[in-house]
Every structure is written in C-alpha cells, then in structure tokens.
Amino acid sequence: MTEGKNLKKEARVLRGNGLSYNEIAKKVGISKSTAKYWCNDIELKPEDRKRLYTKQIRLLSKGSKSSHDRRQVQIKILREKAKNEIKLPISSEAFMLFGAALYWAEGNKVSDFTITNSDPLLIKFMCNWFRKIFGVTKDSFKAHLNIYSGQKDLEIKKFWSDITEIPIKNFGKSFIKPVSKNYKKNSLYYGTIKVRVARGTDYRHRVFGWIDAILKNTGAHVENVERKWYKLKDNYTRV
C-alpha cells in the first residue's frame, strides 16, 4: 500500500512538472490509464499544454501506420483541447441545465419521470442529477432492465445497482428480449436500464418548463413554420 502511495505521489509530481501521461507511465512504471486516473485533476501550466500539443503535432507530421491511426491522434488532440475549454467545477445552474438537456433527449416526455439508456456514465450522471436537483431518495427510485435471454439477470442487476446506488430490491422484473436473427452476441452486454422516479410527474413538468424558457424564441419560430405547413399533416391524415 505504501509503495502504491509513493508511486502515486511521484506521478502527481511529474504531472505538475508538465509531463504527459505517456511520459509519466514510462518513468513510474504504471499504465497510462492509471497515470491519467491519478493525475486527471492537475491543471497543466499554459507552457506545458503548448509543449504537449506541439509534440502531438510533430507525431502527426511523421505519419502513422494508417489514416485511421492519424485520425485517432487528431481526435485525441481535439478532445484534450476541448476539455481545457471547460472550467471545473461547473456552476449549479449549468449542472441543472445539462441534466435537463439530457432528459429532453433521453427521458420520457409524456408520462412519469423516467430515463432509459444503456450508457452507464449517462445513467450515473442522471441518477446523481435526480438526487441533487430534486432531492430524490434511494427509496423513490425504481428500475427495470431490458436484457437478452442469454444474460444473467441478477448479475446485471447487481452491476446497475453498483452504478446507480439503487437497491436491488427496487428493481422490478426484467424484460427478456426474445432471440432473433438480428441478435448480436455481447451486444449491449449490460442491457438497457429504465430508471423511474416515483411520484415524479411534477418534476418532469418543471424540467420542461426550464426547456421552454431556454427555447422561447426558437419555439416561436418553429410554431410559426408548423402552422404554415399544417396542410402536410392534413394531407397525411387523408391518405
């Protein structure tokens, strides 16, 4: 344990001195992912960011094994630069609206207060959002899984329980998808989870009130266009 702490301390010192995760991994003798996990919260000095960015550009100019490899390096650089455009921690209002936008995209629009997805990171964020924005307690969460017949229901429930911190007793009966010709082995290994907040209908209306406020001008334009082209709907109903 002491050795691990010393390695972590060494890695953090090196990151503070402006080394890349690859450079830290080689010097300390750890994986790049571990270096990133230990040091991700350390903000680089502008001159160090510039040096690492220039180094990535030089690697690009030397060429890679394939266009795919070059593109992956480009994407990595773009994402690293974009990460530096976000100042953490974000404000409470930004957090509230980020979750509202995700709910607008992925949540139930017409009933309950429910979000369904297969991405553990998105589901974890939204559960935290439900708790922090609306004060939802663990007993108010209900969950259901959508899985394939070859998957182990209880194990996947345990996985999602660990992710969401929703007790397994709050999980309802899973929907088992029948195997079809389009079934892909290992596809959506963790299945799809639907998280519902009990008695959350008023929360849903509040969320869409926030969205209405942000889209006030945009919504007015869309309504005008829809009225102009209402005949399309009329024609469709006559077919």
Closest to 130 (Cα-Cα) out of 105, 102, 158, 156: 102
Determine which of 54-63, 69-78, 86-95 has the lowest per-residue pLDDT on average: 54-63
Q: How would residue 239 be classed by pLDDT, with cut points 50, 70 and 90?
A: very low
Both structure tokens of 176: 């088992």
Residues 173-184 have pLDDT tens digits of 999 988 765 655
C-alpha to C-alpha distances, 96 to 40, 84, 86, 112, 137, nearest whole angstrom: 24, 21, 16, 19, 18
User: 45 or 105, which is more confident?
Assistant: 105
Number of Cβ within a 10 Å radius of residue 158: 13
Q: In sequence order, what are the residues at sequence separation of 6 or more whose Cβ sits closer than 8 angstroms to the Cβ of residue 207?
A: 100, 103, 104, 107
Residues 60-82 have pLDDT tens digits of 666 555 677 778 888 988 998 89
pTM metric for this prediction: 0.68
Query: What's the topology of domain 92-214?
Result: 60s Ribosomal Protein L30; Chain: A; (3.30.1330)
Interval 99-111 mean pLDDT: 97
Q: Where are the domains of the chain?
A: 1-42, 53-88, 92-214
Q: In sequence order, what are the residues at sequence separation of 6 or more whose Cβ sits closer than 8 angstroms to the Cβ of residue 140?
A: 197, 198, 199, 200
User: 37 or 194, which is more confident?
Assistant: 194
